[in-house]
Amino acid sequence: MRKIDLRSDTVTQPTERMRELMRQAPVGDDVYQEDPTVNKLEAEAAALVGKEAALFVSSGTMGNLLALMSHTQPGEEVILEADSHIYCYEVGGISRIAGLIPRPITGLGGIFTSKQLKQALRPENIHYPRTTLLCLENTHNRSGGQVLPQDQVVELAEAARNAGLKLHLDGARIFNAAVASNTPVQILTAPFDSVMFCLSKGLAAPVGSILAGSTNFIARARKFRKMLGGGMRQAGILAAAGLESLDVMTKRLAEDHRRAERLAEGLSAVPGLKVANPVHTNIVMLDITCPELTAACLVSAWAEAGIITAANSKYGMRLVTHYQITDEDVEYVIEATRTIIQQMS
């Protein structure tokens, strides 16, 4: 049976070319910084996002945690968006491991205003923690892969700098943002001291993320990575796939965006379904508008048609396109959904 997995771009399998490069990769002990393939990946990644240095890490979650730890001291306060991945989906590592107090601000489309930031900043007072870091997320996952308006990012970054804050970008899908806004990725990362991006999502590598920033920052992060047990040895096997992600997979994301748009268009024409947010990149947030039908019902009906999805609320679902989703898959999903909804209502 046909299998179309729309749960996430994390489900992507490594390409044949990646597997071949992994087999051939020269490797060494990366804790000694002697793995030539990891060193090459880190150098290329740093240059690509316009930073001095980079670190290959096991996951986006670890990259963000290392950034939090490396920019701050325990007990300090971090300002972030209330729907951000760091605040919602990273198991509270910001507090449990980094020892920080998060200060969530509710934004619109993943970003709040510089006015909101200024209101949140605390005056000097013996009772208050020190506020030292601002984190933003681009594309913004919970608002459906929306691209942050760069002029608003620049304005917010300036306000944060004036208040003496450091800035970290959770850019898990920053290449999707660059492609969708037709902006070089270095422009999107320029206002930030550090950026994390995932190789293992739309870029299709099997494992890994990159954390990039200044040489000193990366030296600190490297030490914390070791502390957390993330010092890997012959990691060049994995980095080889990451190099292919940078060289090849960053350049084809517009296809995923086009398919997400077509999927949104096709599904919003089905009675009882509504696309919740503007589709900027590879994520479609879908809502059911007829109360008799729940997301769980649709998810299980889809599963019988070989379409794998997940509900994220009673009436809401998230569908993600990626390089293993073809034009034919998208048309099949639209047709199958039409039939399913007809039978159910």
* Least separation in angstroms between CB 79 and ligand PLP: 17
Tokens 């959770």 -> residue: 170
Instruction: Please report how many Cα atoms fall inside a 13 Å half-sphere around the Cα of residue 66, on the Cβ side.
Output: 34
Chain residue at closest Cβ approach to ligand PLP? 60
| Shortest separation between residue 137's beta carbon and ligand PLP, angstroms | 5
Measured from the CB atom, is 63 or 336 closer to ligand PLP?
63
Residues 120-129: contacts with CB under 8 Å, at least 24 apart: 120/79, 121/163, 122/77, 128/77, 129/75, 129/76, 129/77, 129/101
What's the closest the beta carbon of residue 307 comes to ligand PLP, in angstroms? 22
Q: Please list every residue from 51 through 110 that binds ligand PLP, using CB under 6 A.
A: 59-61, 64, 85
172 part of the interface to ligand PLP, by CB under 6 A: yes
Q: Is the Cβ of residue 121 or residue 135 nearer to ligand PLP in the bound state?
A: 135
Size of residue set near ligand PLP by CB under 6 A? 12
Q: Are 248 and 142 in contact, with CB atoms under 8 Å apart?
A: no
Output 200 or 321, the one with its CB closest to ligand PLP.
Answer: 200
Where would I find the H helices in the chain?
16-24, 36-48, 60-71, 85-88, 93-96, 114-120, 150-162, 174-181, 185-189, 215-227, 236-247, 253-268, 295-304, 327-344
Of the pair 320, 340, the CB lying nearest ligand PLP is at: 320
Which residues from 180-199 bind ligand PLP, rule CB under 6 A?
198
- Amino acid in the structure at residue 240: A
Under rule CB under 6 A, which residues in 16-55 are in contact with ligand PLP? none
Contacts with ligand PLP in 108-147 (CB under 6 A)? Answer: 137, 141
**b/e string for 6-36 if b means 16 or more Cβ within 10 A?**
bebbeebebbeebeebbeebebbebeeeebe
Residue 173: CB minimum distance to ligand PLP, A: 6
Establish if 202 lies at the interface with ligand PLP (CB under 6 A).
no
Smaller CB separation from ligand PLP, 209 or 321: 209
Nearer to ligand PLP, 110 or 236 (CB): 110
Shortest CA distance to 189 belongs to which of 205, 202, 178?
Answer: 178
Quick note: the x/- pattern for ligand PLP over 239-268, rule CB under 6 A, is: ------------------------------
- Which one, 42 or 170, has the nearer CB to ligand PLP? 170
Q: Which amino acid is at 298?
A: L
The full DSSP string for 95-161 is: HHTT--EEEEE--BTTB--HHHHHHHSPPS-TTSPPEEEEEEESSBTTTTSBPPPHHHHHHHHHHHH
Q: Is 209 in the site for ligand PLP (CB under 6 A)?
A: yes
- Nearer of residues 11 and 276 to ligand PLP, judged by Cβ: 11
Return residues touching ligand PLP (CB under 6 A): 59-61, 64, 85, 137, 141, 170, 172, 198, 200, 209
